[in-house]
Structure 1
Amino acid sequence: MISATLACVRVLERIDRAAGGLGADLALYGLSASFALVTALTSTLLPHRAWGGIAVWGYLAAFLAAALQLLLRRPAFRMSLTWAVWAGVALVPLAVQAVQRAAGRTDRAQEEVLVVEHMGERLAHTGTPYLGPDAIGALPPGEQLLGYAPYQPGMAVFGLPRAAFGDVWCTDARIWFALVTAAALVTAVRLLRSAPIRAVQFATVLPICALTLATGGDDLPVLALCLLALACCATDRYRAAGAAVGVAAALKLFALPVVAVLLVLAFTTGNLRRFLPGALGLPVLALVPAFLVDANAFVENVVRFPLGHGLVTSPAQSPFPGYLISQTLPGGRYVAAALLVAAALTVAVLLVRRPPVTAASAALFCGYGLLAAILLMPTTRFGYLLYPLAFLVWSPALAFSRPTATTAPRGDRALYRL
């Protein structure tokens, strides 16, 4: 099975490199344009439709530019084109929706944007970004869902500009999501120097990423900071890696598995003392004020609600195996939970028996582990797939960067020695 997997990977690599990578670029932009068009015409979510109506032109322009490059056999400007496309299919739609929303449109942001901005308002006025169960229960039934904030306390920082300066386009939380995302990704690419264009594309212009940033956006800074942490590990900057992934974990629980994997990597490479303060200190520092003000509110929002024990049900219900099992089998929620625990234990055993010794293998652990978790969680979203996809595609970029202090990347086969 391993040999077949490796052979499949080699075939995909040959396809990806055909015509200097331009053939795959052409397919990526063409399929993305089709996705944007279908979204603009058929999506039931109005922010998604608005994104598709703008992004389709950006993808079509990119398709034509890639076709011209392929015709002239000039792949030199692929990275510049990637950044330009990201601006056209993510940043421009985001700015347009933010401006329209500030002008009074109420259908130009997904609910998570409102939730984050409400977190900022509560933090500014009460010292905690969370409402307790009694306060949520007192809301009208149609508003109770927006009363929940299933994020770490650090996410409230993105809502502070709107709390301070009011409803103008530049205080939209998505603007600040985009700024942090851009800063982290540009820094990661500069650190790696030889980062493959495909890795950058899978964190920027891939529709699942561009759509998410333009309409909701809270996952993109978390992902970008995790990728930055991996790039820092790959270039032996473990203090910076700890700070980057620590900030990510202070924003969203999805970063905690990445923290765990990088802790093992830091331990096996002898860099734990450099990595640990930022990786664990920053999330704990973000939690302390929320716990001191109202610990029960934190537990209600961040623990009970995601686990399905809140006053209302989470809308995160994509038809992945975990959700289907929980909905169709007798005791399905417990079966799905057991499978999720089994997957987590399997990853934990692999981490102990075959610990990663390079950032590249750590990225594979993060990618495969999160993919299993997303597929098996009873409540999840299709958009969460951007995490494992990005980690898996970034692994080769990390493998060919400067090795960590004690190991050589190409000698590490942590996930393939069983």
Structure 2
Amino acid sequence: MTAAPDRTAPAPPRWQAVDSAAGGLALDLGLYAVSAVFAGITAATSTLLPHRAWGALATFGYALATLAATGQLLARRRHAGTFLAGLPARWAVTGFAWATTALLPVAAQSIQRAAGRTDRAQEEVVVIEHAGARLADHGTPYLGHDAIAALPPAEQLLGYTPYQPGMALFGLPRAAVDAWWTDARVWFALVTAVALAVAVVTLRGTSGPDAPGRGGALLRGVQAATVLPVCALTLATGGDDLPVLALCLLALTLAAAGRPGRAGVAVGVAGALKLFAWPVALVLVCWAATRRAGVRTALGALGLPAVALLPALLIDRDALAENVLRFPLGHGLVTSPAQSPFPGHLIAAALPAGRIVAAALLVAVGVVIAVRLLRRPPRTAATTALICGYGLLAAILLMPSTRFGYLLYPLALLVLAPALALAERRPEVAA
């Protein structure tokens, strides 16, 4: 008797054809070239000064990566299989692109901010650093309703901390020392780099066969989490979503390697930082249940966020509710600035009782996904990534208050799925 295969396709043939054209270099070239245009337009037209500063540096980084990819394509045409056009060289260009379009802007903006520039960080950086200071002084990163109301109206938005308690840890360095390297973005970048490096090592070390295209698929997944403009721009100007994303990707690679307990810990750490990781945690627990490891995975995936919430709950539960529930749901003293024109926001703004309609659609999508998980839980990490990716995409599109940058989650999850599928591909064994 053989295990029933999971029929969710990890990579449509059309995508495989595009991805593998010219040994993957054609899509590399397109990615870097389009990204250079995006960065240039951002530098010239963005009304957000941190974004303009990012674009000014990133344009050159993407342009140089475009030139490198062009050279690789020419080398491949003249000498098939040459080192310059091989997978190691593609990894090198990707690393260079991330260093120049994300890490260099992070360092530059952090240094300029430490020197006195007040326009070199988005509000979330300031919010998280203030949360770190409150955590160090009072044991909770949250201000209560009355404390926020006592702030000047222009500062009330920055009084809210709409994150899970663990996110305040990134603000602790600035609470101790006022220097460029204590900027929260520096630590976001460090955790992101470490998590992605461990994910790559984990996926390369899986016991599955070295299927054709496996290395290229893994590289594409890393590109989606690093050099894609929505990720590089986010890390350089705000950055709080990148360690959450990287930890979720690490959890999925650990799942593909057959380590459900460690996968639960990784996604649990992500869930202690931000709510966006919680849907990934729930789907991973469903995956683990098909391997009789549901409890072991849930201990980390659900237990770590719960433990992180406990101190804030005991110290001031009303402040916790004000920040992580009322404010994101639109019932705070001020309105969230996350107002990207996705369907959920447009419905909420344009229709009578629009917020109720948008919320009903969001709940309907959640019910559909829940039914799917109950009737046919995912049996592979690749399918888990696809369910999480499409589910988060639907949620982002339907939430009344959302940001364009949140698309980095579904994009990276969906692009990583083929690499997970290739890592898990094993001959079927009779049970």
Pick the TM interval, shorter chain: over 0.9
TM-fit CA distance, 1:403: 5.8
- Is residue 245 of structure 1 aligned with residue 267 of structure 2? yes
Residue 132 of structure 2: aligned partner: 120
| CA distance 1:29–1:365, change in 2 (3 Å) | same
Q: Which residue of 2 aligns with 1:185?
A: 196
Aligned to 1:412: none
Partner of 1:416: none
Structure 1 residue 273, shift from structure 2 partner: 3.4
Structure with larger RCO (C-alpha < 8 A, sep 6+)? 2
Name the Cα RMSD after superposition.
1.6
Does the alignment pair 1:207 with 2:229? Answer: yes
Please give the residue correspondences for 1:13-412 in structure 2 after superposition, counting only pairs within 5 Å: 13-73=16-76, 74-76=84-86, 77-165=89-177, 167-193=178-204, 194-195=214-215, 196=217, 197-402=219-424
Identify if the C-alpha distance between structure 1 residues 331 and 408 changes in structure 2 by more than 3 Å, giving closer, same or farther.
farther
Query: Within 1, Cα distance between the matches of 2:174 and 2:195?
Result: 23
Gaps of 5+ in 1: 410-418
CA deviation profile, 1:61-81 (whole Å, cap 9, x unmatched): 000000000000042110121
Residue 12 of structure 1: how far off its partner (Å): 2.4
Residue in structure 2 matched with residue 413 of structure 1 by the alignment: none
Residue 336 of structure 1 deviates from its aligned partner by 0.3
Whole-Å separation in 2 of the counterparts to 1:60 and 1:267: 46
Report if aligned partners of 1:358, 1:403 keep a CA contact under 8 Å in 2. Answer: no
Distance 1:337 1:6 in 2: 30
- CA shift, 1:8, in A, is 9.6
Q: Tell me how far apart the structure 1 counterparts of residues 309 and 385 of structure 2 sit (CA, whole Å).
A: 26
Q: Distance in 2 between matches of 1:266 and 1:32?
A: 37
Query: Structure 2: where are the runs of 5+ without partners?
Result: 1-7, 77-83, 205-213
> TM-score w.r.t. structure 2 length?
0.91
CA shift digits 1:136-185 (9 cap, x unpaired): 000000000000000000000000000011x2101000000000000000
Indicate the SS of the match to 2:302.
helix
CA deviation map 1:233-282 (0-9, x unaligned): 00011121111000000000010000100010010111123312211221
Quote how far apart the aligned CAs of 1:212 are: 0.3
Scaled by the length of structure 1, the TM-score of the pair is 0.94
Shift of 1:372: 0.4
Q: Are the aligned partners of 1:358 and 1:408 in contact in 2 as well (CA < 8 Å)? A: no
Contact 1:234 1:403 in 2 (8 A): no
Alpha-carbon distance in 2 for matches of 1:332, 1:238: 41
| 1:305-331: CA deviation from partner (whole Å, max 9, x where unpaired) | 000000000000000000000000011
Q: Which amino acid aligns with 1:154?
A: G
Alpha-carbon shift at residue 402 of structure 1 (Å): 3.9
| Helix, strand or coil at the partner of 1:251 | coil
Give 1:7 deviation, angstroms. Answer: 13
Identity over the aligned pairs, expressed in percent?
A: 66
1:408/1:360 CA distance change after superposition, 3 Å: farther
Contact 1:127 1:293 (8 Å CA) reproduced: yes
Whole-Å separation in 2 of the counterparts to 1:151 and 1:206: 24
The answer (yes or no) to whether the contact 2:11–2:418 under 8 Å persists in 1 is: no
CA distance in 2, matches of 1:227, 1:7: 15
